[in-house]
Structure 1
Amino acid sequence: MKKIPFVLFLLIGLSFCAYAQKTMLKTNIPYWLTASPNLGAEVAVTDNVSIELSAGFNPFKFGDDKQIKHWVVWPEARYWLNETYNGHFFGLHGVGGQFNMGGVDIPIWKLKNLKDRRYDGSAIGFGVSYGYQWVLSSRWGLEATLGVGYARFDYDIYSLGENGSKIGENKKNYFGPTKGAISITYVIN
């Protein structure tokens, strides 16, 4: 969690160091629904290539033993079929972060164990993505993207409670969705 200020500083610095007419800021709307503030900056490198860095975090505890604390970053290089910030794009992205989650009832796939345990660890991975950007005005847009790939998880498992004891540790390889967003975008002119 201590790396969050650095990531935010990096995002802000990236947006101000770039050419203003080639920089876009964005935020992932569904990610906000998990109480996770997030921000992204994207810079056009050529007419059809851009680089993006998005980050999000959740520092909150939601009652007794419920928390989905985490920070995550997604760097990405994108190739736009039409022109940057307009239409279809394909990307290569990375993903990395740390998490401390538990006590939350999410009855799907492997997340069902979050109800009875707390997981504290890190993840790093990469993948490919596809997306589409709708131009709403000269500055505003709407972007949807989905990525799949590989991630390596390294984590400790704890029992719930104020002084939850460590009950195990694990490392897992994951193949599947590694990125997803529906973002409101703003081009800086």
Structure 2
Amino acid sequence: MKKKRILSLCMGLFFSTLLYSQMVGIKTNVVMDALRIINVGAEIGLSKKMTLDLYANYNPWEYKELQMMKMLALQPELRYWFCDRFNGHFVGAHIHGGVYQAAGIDMPFGIWPDLKDHRFKGHFYGMGVSYGYQWILSKRWNLEGNIGFGYARVKYEQFECKTCGDKVGEGHKNYVGPTKAALSLIYVF
């Protein structure tokens, strides 16, 4: 029930800001699309050089061989544009948070070695900074590249095996590294 309230609040904020914004872009991250992760974003013009990017992704799927990376994540970002909004270089500051359940994933660089043989579930939150660039493709279409770096506090419960088992521990991890990577296709209203 708590997840529904949070989602309703976010959607209400999203649609109310659409009514008062100067310019709006609706976007999808094609990297997430290629990974079959549901995602949607909206970028709202606040002034000539400032925008608010509201982004969410949701992954309800389980993968082959008992792999799982289910999540619901939100990542709003305030952006400053060096030229005009929706055109050229920008820098941003973002916050992020969400819930997850993961198992059977072999993370690169030994980030979370126990994730390969155990199931974890919990939530995370954090913040970061980003840099990006937007190309104008036509009157209504843009393409954006964006990369971010930051911090996340990941709280978890650990379970014996990938699909079953008793809870064997709980704790948290602190992560510092990439927090955002996007190649987005945008429709501008």
Q: In structure 1, what is the Cα distance between the partners aligned to 2:124 and 2:28?
A: 22
1:147 aligned residue:
148
Instruction: Identify the residue that residue 89 of structure 2 maps to in structure 1.
Output: 88
Counterpart for residue 54 of structure 2: 53
Q: How far apart, CA to CA, are the structure 1 residues paired with 2:78 and 2:108? A: 34
Contact 2:67 2:103 in 1 (8 A): yes
CA distance in 2, matches of 1:105, 1:137: 41
In 1, distance between residues paired with 2:16 and 2:132?
Answer: 22
Q: Is the 8 A contact 2:151 2:175 kept in 1?
A: yes
Residue type matched to 2:11 in 1?
A: F
- 3-state DSSP class of the match of 1:6? helix
In structure 2, the residue matched to 1:159 is 160
Name the Cα RMSD after superposition.
2.2
Q: Sequence identity of aligned pairs in percent?
A: 40
Partner secondary structure for residue 30 of structure 1: helix
Give the aligned partner of residue 40 of structure 2: 39
- Shift in alpha-carbon separation, 1:50–1:16, aligned structure 2, 3 A: closer
Structure-2 change in CA distance of 1:114 and 1:80 (3 Å): same
| Partner residue in 2 for 1:138 | 139
Q: Which shows bigger deviation, 120-129 or 103-112?
A: 103-112
Q: CA deviation at 1:114?
A: 2.5
Quickly say closer, same or farther: Cα 1:162–1:146, change in 2 above 3 A: closer
Matched, 1:127 2:90: no
2:25 is aligned to: 24
Superimposed CA distance per residue, residues 24-64 of structure 1 (whole angstroms, 9 cap, x where no aligned partner): 01111111232210000011111100011100010112256
Query: 5+ residue gaps in structure 1?
Result: none
Distance 1:14 1:52 in 2: 14
SS of the counterpart of 2:111? helix
Letter of the 1:17 counterpart: L
Q: Which amino acid aligns with 1:177?
A: P
Counterpart CA distance in 2 for 1:11 and 1:33 is: 28
Q: Which residue of structure 2 lines up, in the alignment, with residue 13 of structure 1?
A: 15
> Which stretch of the first structure deviates more once superposed, 72-81 or 97-106?
97-106
* Separation in structure 2 between the aligned mates of residue 162 and residue 78 of structure 1, nearest angstrom: 41
Alpha-carbon distance between aligned partners in 2 of 1:124 and 1:148, rounded to the nearest angstrom: 14
3-state SS of 1:160 partner: coil
Q: Give 4+ residue runs of structure 1 displaced > 4 Å after superposition.
A: none
